[in-house]
Each structure stands twice: as structure tokens, then as C-alpha cells.
Amino acid sequence: MHLARVTNRLCLLGGVLALLLASTPSHAALTLTDYAANTRHFTMSTFASGFPVGGVGAGPFGVAYRADGAVLVDHYNGSIYIFPNHDDNQVAGATLTTNYGTGPSLRGFVQIYSNGVYHYYIARQTANDVIEVSPTTGVLIRTVATVSQPIGLVGYPPPPLGPVSTHSGHLFASTAGGTIVEIDPTVAAPGNTTTFANLGAVGDGIAFSPDGSILYVAKPSTNNILGYSVPPSGAGTLAYTSPAVGSGIDGIAIGLGTLVGYLYTDHNDGTMWEIGLPGGPTPGSLNKIADGGSRGDFIAIDPSVYSGGPSGFPSLLVTQSDRIMRLDPPGGGWFGPPTSSTTLQPAVVPAITTIGAIAVMLLLLGAGAVIAMRRRSA
């Protein structure tokens, strides 16, 4: 009888343990596919792990950089995590003083260089605003604009990448309401926002072509990327629609150098994809870069950790539920534009020469070919 009671208790304990294990979310690391590793020769590592995971599987979202080498990451839980440098294999722990809580829903996070100073901006989805924060304490400096449910956030490429235009120094935000909003952060709200485009459904990740001529945005309802031409002033015009790819499409990055002609996307279903652009080497192609991950949200170009070794070019940070992975392309390929860089800015123009004249020419020719192809097909 005593043995039976012990056996029953062990069975009960085993059942409880199994239930606990089943209810604990698994956050496997994003893993390169055979195509990415052996055909494209990408590598992947972990920039940072140990982030807490929210109830919807959300964790880190936006990434920004300080001039002292620190990396800032805003999170679903309202914290802004700080890492002392760009090295791999760090663990999330230290945060800036200010915590905004889960209510405001921190999302896109970028910085813009203006008049010798970097300004740091965060989109707060449920707070319906875009704010400027201190990069040292995280404290709110000011509300830049009132925007209905902003999600993705990007700055217009500064010279010498983008042309000087009425868009220079502006922010562009995708929204859950299906619009792309242009924001002039130098002008006090209200009256500093205009509608750049209407998507007709939720817009998510957002990115510019290096020369600022095309603005790409992820449209999760149809799992494709829309590209809008960017005129010198005013609203954009739809110029490109990618094939549907994966599930839960989100973050976007642009391929440069040997990767010109491709877009790279991060997905909520734990995958990454490569999309061939018109005018590129394989227009319309869809190739899975990685899978087996957790919830993927935004993508950030890391200007300080290079592909192809120390003389290479920017790698890519890819958010997951509890970590941020680093995608490193082969030498001669990189990601851009480096609009969040603290080294490739107008004040440090000589740094652009590290890209090399030939690479810049390829970049511009590639962008021109894409635009020309779109115009011919219109």
C-alpha cells in the first residue's frame, strides 16, 4: 500500500512537470538554411540573449546606437536595455533608468544626426505617439508627434547617401491603421505630420533604399513588401509589390555590395527570407535564409560589426523573442542604408570611403536599375 502511494505521487509529480514543460514557451535559436550557409555563405551568431518574453511572444524590438559604442534596445516590457559594445554573446541585464511599462508598447527605435547631435526617437504604438528620449537615461525629452498606433520607424537617408530635399532629417512611421506618416521632428506638434502613403492594412517594418528613392514597408495581412517611390516632396506612389512570402512578415533590410538586388525580411513565424528585386540578379526569387527561430520583429543594421572581417561592411541584427541574432553575409556584401550609424554620418564623410568607390558605384547603379525597371513595367 505504501509503495502504491509513492508510485501515485510520482506519477502525479511527473504529470505536473510535463504540464509545466508543455506550457513553457520554447525559444530555439534562428538557424541558417542550407541555401544561406552553403550557397550564399552567410554565417549567424548571437549578439545578445536572455531577454524576458512577453505574453504574445514579443521581446526586443528596435535597436539604436550611441556614439560611445553602446547599443540600445527597446523592449516589449517598456525597458530600454543597454549593452556596452557591439560584441557577440552578451546577456540582457542592464537597462536605462526610465521604464515606460507595457502599456505604451515601445516599437521602432532610431536616431538621427542633426546639427552635431544625435536625437533618439521611439514609436509607442498604444500611446499613439513618437517621442524623443535621452540616450543615457531613457527619460522622455518631448513628444515629437501624435500618430495613431505607430509601429515601424525610420529616418530619411542623410547626405551623401540621400539627396538634400524636403524629406531631409524627417522620420517616417508605419502604422497599425494602414498609413505611412512623415514627421518633421524640427517642428513642434501638432502640424508636423503628413500622410505619405495609404496601405489599406497594417504596416510594419519599414526601410529606405540607400539613395532615399524608394521606401519599403512590410504588409503582414498579405505577407509582402510594398515599395513607394519618394518624390522630392509630397506623397509617395506605389512602385513595387513583392510576391507573398512566409508568414507574419515584419522587419526589412536592403542588400548592398554583392547583395544588391535583394531584400531581406524577418518574420513572426521564426523565419527569414531573401527576395529578389526587379533589375537584380534573380528578380522575383524567394529563398528562405533561416528558420527554426521564435517571433521575429524588426531588423537593424549594425555599423560596427562587419561582414568579411574587420575590413568588411555592416552586418544585420535580427530580433527574436528572447534574443537578437546577427546575420553576417560573405565578404563584399552588407546591409543598409546605415541611417542608424554613428560612424557613417555627414559629419564623418571620410568614413564613407571605406566602402570603396566601386562599391558605391555598384550601389547607385543597382538602385537606378531597379527604378528604371519599375518605370518600364509601369
Write out the chain in H/E/C secondary structure. Answer: CHHHHHHHHHHHHHHHHHHHHHHCCCCCCCEECHHHHHHCCCEEEEEEECCCCCCCCCCEEEEEECCCCCEEEEECCCCEEEECCCCCCEECCCECCCCCCCCCCEEEEEEEEECCEEEEEEEECCCCEEEEECCCCCCEEEEEEECCCEEEEEECCCCCCCCCCCCCCCEEEEECCCEEEEECCCCCCCCCEEEEEECCCCCCCEEECCCCCEEEEEECCCCEEEEEECCCCCCCEEEEECCCCCCCEEEEEEEEECCCCEEEEEECCCCEEEEECCCCCCCCCEEEEEECCCCCCCEEEEEEEEECCCCCEEEEEEECCCEEEEEECCCCEEEECCCCCCCCCHHHHHHHHHCCHHHHHHHHHHHHHHHHHHHHHC
What integer pLDDT is reported at residue 306 of this predicted model?
62
What integer pLDDT is reported at residue 6 of this predicted model?
35
**Cell of residue 365, nine digits:** 547603379
Q: What angle do CA 58, 62, 65 make, to 5 degrees?
A: 145
Return the residue matching grid coordinates 530600454: 80
What integer pLDDT is reported at residue 164 of this predicted model?
86
For residues 96 and 79, give the distance between their C-alpha atoms in angstroms, rounded to a whole number: 7
Compute how many other C-beta atoms are within 10 angstroms of the C-beta atom of residue 351: 14
For residues 201 and 204, give the distance between their C-alpha atoms in angstroms, rounded to a whole number: 10
**What's the fold here for domain 45-377?**
Methylamine Dehydrogenase; Chain H (2.130.10)
What is the full per-residue pLDDT of the chain (378 aa) written as tens digits?
443 443 444 343 344 333 333 333 445 689 999 999 999 999 999 999 999 998 889 999 999 999 899 999 999 999 999 999 999 999 999 999 999 999 889 999 999 988 888 999 999 999 999 999 999 999 999 999 999 999 999 999 887 777 888 999 999 999 999 999 999 999 999 899 999 999 999 999 999 998 899 999 999 999 999 999 999 988 999 999 999 999 999 999 999 888 999 999 999 999 999 999 999 999 999 999 999 999 999 999 988 776 655 555 789 999 999 999 999 988 788 888 755 555 544 333 223 333 333 333 333 333 333 333 333 333
For residues 27 and 308, give the distance between their C-alpha atoms in angstroms, rounded to a whole number: 29
What integer pLDDT is reported at residue 10 of this predicted model?
38
Would you give the end-to-end CA distance of the chain in angstroms? 83
Compute how many other C-beta atoms are within 10 angstroms of the C-beta atom of residue 194: 13
pTM: 0.83
For residues 63 and 167, give the distance between their C-alpha atoms in angstroms, rounded to a whole number: 22
What integer pLDDT is reported at residue 312 of this predicted model?
58
What integer pLDDT is reported at residue 343 of this predicted model?
54
What integer pLDDT is reported at residue 319 of this predicted model?
97
Q: Which residues contact 130 (CB under 8 A, 6 or more apart)?
A: 121, 122, 123, 124, 143, 144, 145, 147, 150, 153, 171, 173, 183
Report yes or no: 264 and 273 within 8 Å, Cβ to Cβ. Answer: yes
What integer pLDDT is reported at residue 311 of this predicted model?
53
Is the peptide bond between 337 and the residue preceding it cis, with omega within 30 degrees of 0?
yes
What integer pLDDT is reported at residue 341 of this predicted model?
56
Burial class (CB in 10 A: 0-12, 13-18, 19+), 35: middle
